[in-house]
Structure 1
Amino acid sequence: MTTTCDMSQRQAALVALDIDGTLLVTGRLPTPAVIAAVRAASDAGHELILATGRSLSGALAAARVLGIGEGYLVASNGSVVAKMTRAGCEVTGMHTVDAKAVVQLVSAVRPDLSIAAEIVGVGYHVSKPFPPQELGGEQVEVTRLDDLWAEATPRLAIYGENASHLVPSIRAGGMTATRTRPDWVDVTPGGVSKATALETIRRELGIPKSRTVAIGDSENDISMLTWAERGVAMGHAPAMVRFSANSATKGIEDDGAALILNALARSAEDVTRGSQDPIASGP
């Protein structure tokens, strides 16, 4: 299942990039090939936007190691939008989740699970410590559960054995619950996703919808893969993610995202026409 990618006349494309599982393996630095490809696509004039489930602080850390110093960031699965400039980083949009309802639900049925409430740009309030490197930023352990909802938060993370079993109950309460792993669930406001944030940015930048590309590997990437004119799934992505995309690239161990970014940097093909696909590369 392929389409082509419109890079005619070197017009800018909006390229949405997931981080973990797409540009890098969690806990590792991106490879030199990925860093070089990010630079090449940026130098070609494309608007690269990191779109991640990470907190803003975690997204900023990834931007630094990838060499991205300016532009928009989508963090917390779309709940936080920020703009990086040479002067610093400014939050331009934030949606908050009903933390009280979620915390009370989780604590009633699974008190063994750990809960984290994001503090934008800083870290998290946590009901109990999370494993090292599982959360980006400082962890502040609370003494009472109601401290988790005392401050407005864009995202909750729920961690522990079979935490994903709670997804239907959380969704029934009107929130967006995303299974990141069997032991991890991200909770964000209902109706908010990477796609909704990216659409706002696209309109702000004035880039046609026909010139949008997204690359991702997980369930929380499905919304942006279907939103983009060209959605590319990583080769190692689950079947449901690959099915939502127009095509697939190689897996992360083979620098699949770099293949796409390099092709975007040099391609002069049209995203909406033609039988050849200059950026498709099977897993």
Structure 2
Amino acid sequence: MENEGMLDKLKQIYRAMVVTDLDGTLLCSDRLVSKRNMEVLRELGKMGVMRIAATGRNLYSAKKVLAENFPVDFLVFSSGAGIARWTPFKILKSYFLEKRDVIRIASFFLERGLDFMIHEEIPDNHIFYYFSTGRENPDFWNRIEIYGEFANPISKEEIVNFSKRATEVVGIGATPGDYRLISERLSPYSVIRATSPLDLKTIWVEVFPKEVNKATGAEYLRRMYRIPVEKVMAVGNDYNDLALLDWAHMSFIVGNAPYELKERYITVETNDNDGFSSAVELWLRTVG
């Protein structure tokens, strides 16, 4: 009972929540965080505001851009497939696709003629298996080159007999039409559109367990720490932030986001001009 009481006290330490995407939002184009954004993150911590970085990056990739002492409280990674406390680091929750689901999704991607990757379970989901149709797909091969030590080719026969659970299956080089059809045909799953963080234009279609997106990851933490819904803000820049931006009480989009997204949310400066800090300052004026 004493431990439960301590936990209740810990849950009261956050009076509000700020959720930010990383690439193209909090991170500048050089994938560093500006001095102003760092200062704002630290100030939020002093104010008792929970700071969450919500990213499509897997854990291995996130740790390449976030130091151990980076001023966030939690990390929602792999588009919500994993949730972790940042310091001291601990994975709190993760989701996975069963073997039969992996085979179903990958088989549909084969049918559509898409190049795709199957990522292992968290925390090892930086390791992946890839299938190429042989068509020209520079972004696909660029990713394999970057993560070559973790990339493993897979054949059609091996896909049909795939024997592992996985975090996700991601198609690279899709069209908007592919995304719509995949969303319709694979409706038992969470289908998320994202723009490649590598060439900033290629469409990725990521398929996860149904519960997975950045919003459900943030909501898990909001409920755990009993933060009022009206005290939640989010800022993002891409299609994989849509669930998060629609969920938050107050949402912002940075100026470098696609035009159609800027029509839906409050637009602030670009990521290279401290858009994150601008969003936080606007939000603070409303919450007091």
Distance 1:80 1:244, change over 3 A: farther
1:31-88 CA distance string (max 9 Å, x none): 233223222222322100111111122233333288136x3221122222122332x3
**Residue 131 of structure 1: SS of its match in structure 2?**
helix
- Corresponding residue to 1:21 among 11, 20, 24: 24
The equivalent of 1:90 in structure 2 is 91
Separation in 2, partners of 1:156, 1:258: 34
Separation in 1, partners of 2:242, 2:148: 26
Q: CA deviation at 1:241?
A: 2.3
For the Cα contact (< 8 Å) 1:38–1:66, is it kept in 2? no
User: Where do residues 44-123 of structure 1 align in structure 2 (5 Å cutoff)?
Assistant: 44-64=47-67, 67-68=70-71, 71-86=73-88, 88-96=89-97, 98-110=101-113, 113-122=115-124, 123=126
- Asked if 1:196 corresponds to 2:216, the answer is yes
1:120-169 CA distance string (max 9 Å, x none): 22312121574248877952304445469532222222223x45542123
Q: CA deviation at 1:237?
A: 1.6
Separation in 2, partners of 1:188, 1:206: 27
**Residue 34 of structure 1: SS of its match in structure 2?**
helix
Distance 1:227 1:234, change over 3 A: same
Distance 1:180 1:143, change over 3 A: closer
The equivalent of 1:259 in structure 2 is 278
The equivalent of 2:5 in structure 1 is none
Distance 1:68 1:144, change over 3 A: farther
The equivalent of 2:239 in structure 1 is 219
The equivalent of 1:3 in structure 2 is none
Separation in 1, partners of 2:93, 2:141: 29
Query: Is 223-232 or 32-41 further displaced after alignment?
Result: 32-41
- 4+ runs deviating over 4 angstroms: 132-138
The equivalent of 2:182 in structure 1 is 170
Q: Which protein, 1 or 2, shows the higher relative CO under an 8 Å CA cutoff with sep ≥ 6? A: 1
**Residue 86 of structure 2: SS of its match in structure 1?**
strand
For the Cα contact (< 8 Å) 1:74–1:194, is it kept in 2? yes
Number of residue pairs the alignment of both structures matches: 255
CA RMSD across the alignment? 3.0
Query: Is 203-212 or 123-132 further displaced after alignment?
Result: 123-132
**Residue 21 of structure 1: SS of its match in structure 2?**
helix
Separation in 2, partners of 1:135, 1:54: 14
Q: CA deviation at 1:258?
A: 2.2
Distance 1:190 1:151, change over 3 A: same
Separation in 2, partners of 1:180, 1:49: 20
Separation in 2, partners of 1:238, 1:130: 25
Q: CA deviation at 1:26?
A: 5.9
Query: Is 184-193 or 127-136 further displaced after alignment?
Result: 127-136
Structure 2: runs of 5+ lacking an equivalent? 1-12, 132-139, 196-201
Distance 1:138 1:26, change over 3 A: farther
Structure 1: runs of 5+ lacking an equivalent? 1-9, 272-277, 279-283
**Letter paired with 2:82:** V
